[in-house]
Structure 1
Amino acid sequence: MKIFAYGSNMNLNRLKNRVSSAVKISNGFIEGFSLECSKVSIDNSGKATLIRTDNKEDLVWGVLFEIDNKEKPHLDRAEGLNFGYDESVIEVNDGKEFHKAQIYFANDKSIDDGLKPYNWYKAFITEGAKENGLPIDYIRKLESLKSEQDENDERRIKNENILKIK
């Protein structure tokens, strides 16, 4: 099945930690949305979500991946499906054609505009965007997201180590 990763799952190390079958298809974008890190999470930080703007000029870039259907429950668990994240199918434009792909997005009850992502979470997003060659203007936009230090050293170190795997 195809998934569209627009947040931390753009980072291949992060995604492969969750679903080993992930294979990149292409980069792509969706129109009429913006990316925010306002999804409430159990670690009290903000996670990435899509916010509908209905403005065709607003683009969220990401990466289309193919994953084995048998591994989808692993990704659902990692993403917290039905615990703040819902899922949908969306059309992703890769510049040549449209692909139907599954996405996760925060439901209305799980959004808090006052949240910030932890530095390591923002790094998953920005490093994933860079390693996949997303447009430089979009990468700069991601780099401008405000973030904060995770005071839980164990969690921070664990995630920083995933970022360092090559």
Structure 2
Amino acid sequence: MHPPDSQYLYFAYGSNMLSARLQARTPSARAAGIGQVQGHALAWHKRGTSDGSGKCDLLLTGRDDDWAWGVLWHIHWDEKPHLDEAEALGRGYEEKQVPVITAQGTLLAWTYWATDIDARLPVYDWYHAYVLAGAREHGLPPEYVARIAAQPVLVDTDAQRRSERWALLDC
């Protein structure tokens, strides 16, 4: 049990870097800066539970020269079940704590990692746009943003889903 209004630190590296996306899921979320996790890489191979497309993963490589950037968030503990549900905890993602290196030092934060992966999955254009917009919104390093931008995408052929997902970026 956590005291009322207590918060935890969350490390987002994919679509949850975008403030509008994360705050729709956890309204208390407040950005706490950016950071990087050593020995991990951004991968786009997590199978989406609702559409089967590729989503982001914080892939453990174990190599010291691999780094994944992301955004740190303070979120109320009572909203964690909402984020766990949105992230399909136990159904494609598991959670772990990772040391995040920031300009202020190393902080321990909760994050999700993929268990249902397939490197052949297409990445939909709207999902890629969420990740790219979040990286730009929070000022991730330009070379890292360029790597995100270079990810090949596929136009989502489900017109209704595509329209609904793109609407989040129009707010």
The TM-score bracket by the shorter chain reads: over 0.9
2:69 equivalent to 1:61? yes
2:33 equivalent to 1:26? yes
Q: Secondary structure at the match of 1:61?
A: strand
TM-score (norm 1): 0.96
The equivalences for 1:1-166 within 5 A come to: 1-42=8-49, 43-107=51-115, 110-165=116-171
Distance apart, 1:96 and its partner CA: 2.4
After superposing the two structures, state which structure 1 stretch, 46-55 or 12-21, moved more.
46-55
Matched residue type, 1:101: A
Q: Secondary structure at the match of 2:63?
A: coil
Distance apart, 1:53 and its partner CA: 1.4
Distance 1:142 1:88 in 2: 23
Where does the alignment leave 5 or more consecutive residues of structure 1 unmatched?
none
Distance 1:101 1:116 in 2: 29
Distance 1:155 1:16 in 2: 20
Structure 1 match to 2:5? none
Distance 1:151 1:44 in 2: 13
RMSD between aligned residues: 0.8
Q: Secondary structure at the match of 1:67?
A: strand
Distance 1:156 1:116 in 2: 14
Matched residue type, 1:134: L
Matched residue type, 1:26: G
State the 4+ residue runs in structure 1 displaced beyond 3 angstroms. Answer: none
Q: Secondary structure at the match of 2:134?
A: helix
Distance apart, 1:57 and its partner CA: 1.4
Q: Secondary structure at the match of 2:69?
A: strand
Where does the alignment leave 5 or more consecutive residues of structure 2 unmatched?
1-7
Distance apart, 1:154 and its partner CA: 1.2
TM-score (norm 2): 0.93
